[in-house]
Amino acid sequence: MIYLDHAATTRVRAEVRRAMAPALDSVFGNPSSAHAGGRAARALVDAARDQVAAALGARAREIVFTGGGSEADNLALRGVAQAQGERPGHLVVSAIEHEAVLETARALTDAGWALTVLPVDGAGRVDPAALAPALRKDTALVSVMLASNEVGTVQPVAELARVTREHSRALFHTDATQALGKVPIDVAALGVDLLTLSAHKVYGPKGVGALYVRRGVALRPQVTGGGQERTRRSGTENVPGIVGLGVAATLAAAEQASEQPRQRALCDRLRALVLAGVPSALATGAEGAGRLGNFATFAFPDVPGDLLLVRLDQAGVLASAGSACASGSVAPSHVLLAMGLPPTVAAGGLRCTVGRETTEAEIDRAAAAVVEAVRALRAPVPA
Amino acid sequence: MIYLDHAATTRVRAEVRRAMAPALDSVFGNPSSAHAGGRAARALVDAARDQVAAALGARAREIVFTGGGSEADNLALRGVAQAQGERPGHLVVSAIEHEAVLETARALTDAGWALTVLPVDGAGRVDPAALAPALRKDTALVSVMLASNEVGTVQPVAELARVTREHSRALFHTDATQALGKVPIDVAALGVDLLTLSAHKVYGPKGVGALYVRRGVALRPQVTGGGQERTRRSGTENVPGIVGLGVAATLAAAEQASEQPRQRALCDRLRALVLAGVPSALATGAEGAGRLGNFATFAFPDVPGDLLLVRLDQAGVLASAGSACASGSVAPSHVLLAMGLPPTVAAGGLRCTVGRETTEAEIDRAAAAVVEAVRALRAPVPA
């Protein structure tokens, strides 16, 4: 098996599993318990909060642990919107956001919120010049992801956040789920007010994420109860998961500079091999540093993406059409369509995302499998 | 250390850790991925869903996995309320609900919902006769927990659900977080529409729970995005956690009949020893089968509960005042106050909750420690 779907999820790395083990066994207390068993668990949560904060250049108090990236996105959008008071306002998101942002923004329109969806260019990049005219007096939040989960395009978030600050009173949220460990992240340099993280994209466990909430940002909690996470997210803390996120985020940030050039070289090799083998193929997304180093994405005109994936799966190459979250859907990717690809091309999308264990030999075998599968799907059907 | 705080949380049992291990390692795929790696993860989630459904007498499609019991309670209350349409209606909860229900019901009153809080008797039991008069034409939901997390009192949920059905069109939700594995649970026999579970109270991992949602019940999702859990709760599934919940729920249901009499005997012994050693002590909660077998709860008049817990902690006995979720609060338990205890008595509450590893020798040592701590706290301060 050649696993080229690291943007969908990753295997929990050994360092993370080892760190989680005590919290699944001896340090099993409820962090809210005042006794020794509770305090030991609380210490693990505190240490993980420090780790996540350090990975982002944030303060520990600004980190809210959640049940995952989608919950963090929902908390950012719903929490900011509902904290604005009775009267619905205006939101701005990009056309290529993850469903957890797009669907949540659409759900808020049911409650009377106005929504502007920013377009992207052919590389999947939001144009900062398009943002200023979209901002209104009642814009409460702008949400643009740090890097696309479908084509890996890095967005000009620092610039978008600056435009937002200069032209409105809106807060700025970015979903950094795909970007963590791939590009440097510093919340102050980015100038964002809220930032979403997920553990399982960076070799941490599923079921845990975090939302950075800049000090002073008003946020309505979405899960109420015992008042954990400084009342911003109630529920007994997922101690093993939080410990895993802390270690995974630390390692992702620490290894980014050394690991990403290697992964980028693998992806450049994959792109070159596939484009050489299938001359009509398009490499989607941005070029060079405009794209996360672990993404190699394609569109094959007149090739059904779902059948391509089945063939690759049979050949032992695990990849995806777009985001895993939207799999099962037969519609072409909303991201590729927003980038201006015709539906017949967007329907033939392929996302290959490499990881820390991916080797050059795997890339060569995967490229051959892709080329062979595309050729087979295009071969004339025998009469 | 003698751990008598099993109602706060439990240690993940070995069978559960073993079952979770593959999902933290080799079976790491995203269940939404169509390829072999995704299908293997999906199969684990499906099997766990079958297990949880079987433990409740429910259908697999009626189980929604969440990030824990608090999230499940929130989904039940907010989800039902928001699915009723534009006009706010009426909710009924008991005075002794967990904060995840009580605080959420109060939060809904900010959105215009009317709320009736049902009283309890001296044993902490809701009187079914008080329910019918509380029901209104616009009552959307009644939520009464299956067993109290503070004193273990089992509520007459089947009767309350029947009264609700006969006198209103309201749905019925019960939080069964403490009850699972302690009393038999069958959603059809109980006649409930929604039921909350949590894994970490039954030797499963923290960070995962479930909401039973009877077929046909309309529920507004609280986390939107990729559409997982049949659109009722988006976000990549916490596969290891869900696997752990499946096994933990299965074992809890299977061992309940054999294990609970043993735990009840331990708690009866603890009660007898403490009441003999401290004649002024009150045993709180209901008697016999009216109380979960793993609860032994007390109130010590004129003894500061927080200082009592500190002394017990120093003696190696880990217990709690009320719920762990409310620890850190200095206010007397809302549950003991609702049961009619005066504040000076309610402030001296002690909750001891035993588990599958608790021994008779531990009980005898814990009883001696409690008696000694109470006597020391009551001793006249030397002049």
Residue to substitute from B13, B18, B27, B35, interface A, most A β-carbons within 10 A: B35
- Catalytic position from the list A318, A325, A326, A377: A325
Check whether B302 has a pLDDT greater than 80.
yes
CA of residue B327 relative to chain centroid, distance: 16
Smallest CA-to-CA distance from A196 within A208, A211, A179, A215 is with: A211
- pLDDT computed for residue A331 by the predictor: 74
Partners of B318 in the beta sheet?
B3
- In the predicted model, what is the mean pLDDT of residues A104-118? 97
Given CA atoms A106, A108, A112, A118 in this order, what sign does their dihedral have? negative
The residues pairing with B183 across neighbouring beta strands, listed in sequence order, are: B180
In whole angstroms, what is the distance from residue B376 CA to residue B343 CA?
21
Say yes or no for a CB contact (<8 Å) between A24 and B12: yes
CA distance B65 to chain A (A): 11
CA atoms within 13 A on the CB side of B91: 31
Split at pLDDT 50, 70, 90, the class of A246 is very high
Q: For chain A, give me the number of helices (H) and strands (E)? A: 12, 12
CA distances for B353 relative to A251, B156, B201, angstroms? 39, 21, 11
* pLDDT for the residue B331: 74
For residue A110, with 0-12 CB atoms within 10 Å meaning exposed, 13-18 middle and 19 or more buried, which class applies?
exposed
- Which of A34, A223, A239 shows the shortest C-beta gap to B327? A34
Mean pLDDT of B346-356: 95
Closest CA to A6 of A282, A360, A356: A356
State in words which class domain B14-251 has.
alpha beta
pLDDT at residue B83, rounded to an integer? 96
| Residue in B closest to A75 by C-alpha | B223
Catalytic residue check, B352: no
CA of B72 vs chain A CAs: smallest distance (Å): 9
The one catalytic residue among B265, B315, B325, B371: B325
Q: What is the average per-residue pLDDT within A123-136?
A: 96
Name, in order, each residue with C-beta under 8 angstroms of A81's C-beta and a sequence gap of 6 or more.
Answer: A88, A89, A91, A108, A111, A113, A140, A141, A220
pLDDT at A281 over 60: yes
Task: State the pLDDT at residue B328.
Answer: 52
What is the pLDDT of chain B when averaged over all its residues? 95
* pLDDT tens-digit series, residues B319-336: 998 755 544 555 788 999
Asked if residue A221 has pLDDT above 70, the reply is yes
Contacts of A224 in chain B (CB under 8 A): 74, 99-100, 103-104, 107
* pLDDT higher than 80, residue A324: no
CB A65 within 8 A of CB A210: yes
Q: Which residue has the higher pLDDT, B247 or A330?
A: B247
pLDDT tens digits, one per residue of A170-193? 999 999 999 999 999 999 999 999
Q: What integer is the mean pLDDT of B132-156?
A: 98
Name chain B contacts of A66, Cβ cutoff 8 Å: 67
Which among A5, A11, A207 has CB closest to B67? A207
B373: tokens are 């701590």
- Residues A267/A272/A276/A281 CA torsion (nearest 10 deg): 60
- Six token digits for residue A65: 């642990």
Over residues A95-108, the pLDDT tens digits come to 999 999 999 999 99
| Surface-to-core class of residue B26, CB atoms within 10 Å of its CB (0-12 exposed, 13-18 middle, 19+ buried) | exposed
Distance, CA of B284 to CA of B295 (rounded, Å): 10
pLDDT given at position B323:
58
pLDDT at B303 over 80: yes
Interface test with B, best of A5, A35, A91 (most B CBs within 10 A): A35
pLDDT of residue B324: 53
Query: CB under 8 Å, gap of 24 or more: what pairs does A118-122 form?
Result: A118/A92, A118/A93, A118/A94, A118/A144, A119/A95, A119/A338, A120/A94, A120/A95, A120/A96, A120/A153, A120/A338, A120/A339, A121/A339, A121/A340, A122/A339, A122/A340
Q: How confident is the model at residue A85 (pLDDT cuts 50, 70, 90)?
A: confident
What is the pLDDT at residue A259?
97
- B108–chain A nearest CA distance, Å: 11
In this complex, do B236 and A70 lie within 8 Å of one another by their Cβ atoms? Answer: yes
Cβ count within 10 A of residue B39: 13
Nearest CA in chain B to A102: B225
Q: Is the pLDDT of residue A240 over 90?
A: yes
Q: Which of B37, B207, B306 sits opposite A3 (nearest CB)?
A: B37
Tens digit of pLDDT for each residue in B233-274?
A: 999 999 999 999 999 999 999 999 999 999 999 999 999 999
CB B303 within 8 A of CB B378: yes
Q: Among B5, B12, B226, whose Cβ lies nearest the Cβ of A100?
A: B226
Closest partner residue to B223 (CB to CB) among A70, A239, A327 is A70
Q: How far apart are CA A254 and CA B329, in angstroms?
A: 39
Q: Which residues of B touch A11 (CB under 8 A)?
A: 25-26, 28
Mean pLDDT of A355-364: 98
- The ranges of chain A annotated as CATH 3.90.1150.10 are 2-7+256-378
Q: Percent of chain A scored above 70 by pLDDT?
A: 97
pLDDT value at A205 more than 70: yes
Task: Read off the pLDDT band of A328 (50, 70, 90).
Answer: low
Q: Which of A226, A310, A319 sits opposite B99 (nearest CB)?
A: A226
Beta-strand ranges (E) seen in chain B are 2-3, 63-66, 90-94, 114-118, 139-143, 171-175, 194-198, 209-213, 282-283, 295-299, 317-318, 349-353
Say if the Cβ atoms of B237 and A325 lie within 8 Å: no
Alpha-carbon distance of B132 to B332, in angstroms, equals 30
What pLDDT, on the 0 to 100 scale, is given for residue B109? Answer: 97
Helix residue ranges, H only, A287-359: 305-314, 334-338, 343-346
Which of A357, A183, A199, A375 has the alpha carbon at shortest distance from A286? Answer: A183
Distance CA(B233)–CA(A50), nearest Å, equals: 29
Q: Which residues pair with B223 in a beta bridge?
A: none
List all residues 6 or more positions away from A25 whose beta carbon is below 8 Å from its beta carbon. B11, B12, B17
Residue-level pLDDT at A53: 98
A236 neighbourhood in chain B, CB within 8 Å:
9, 68-70, 198, 200, 206, 324-325
In chain B, where does the domain assigned CATH 3.40.640.10 lie? 14-251
Tens of pLDDT, residue by residue over A143-168, are: 999 999 999 999 999 999 999 999 99
> Count of CB contacts below 8 A, A vs B?
273
Weakest-pLDDT range from A16-25, A340-349, B151-160: A340-349
pLDDT of residue A344: 87
Nearest-neighbour CA in chain A from B177: distance (Å): 12
- Identity of residue A365: R
What percent of chain B has a predicted confidence (pLDDT) above 90? 92
CB contact under 8 A, A200 and B236: yes
Instruction: Select the residue from A236, A247, A306, A351 to test the B interface by mutation, using most B Cβ atoms within 10 A.
Output: A236
The pLDDT value given to residue B165: 97
Which strand (E) or helix (H) includes residue A61? none
Band of pLDDT at residue B344, cut at 50, 70 and 90: confident
Note the CATH number of domain B2-7+256-378: 3.90.1150.10
If you average pLDDT over residues A299-308, what whole number do you get?
Answer: 92
pLDDT at A330: 59
CB count, 10 Å around CB of A325?
25
- pLDDT of A326 above 60: no
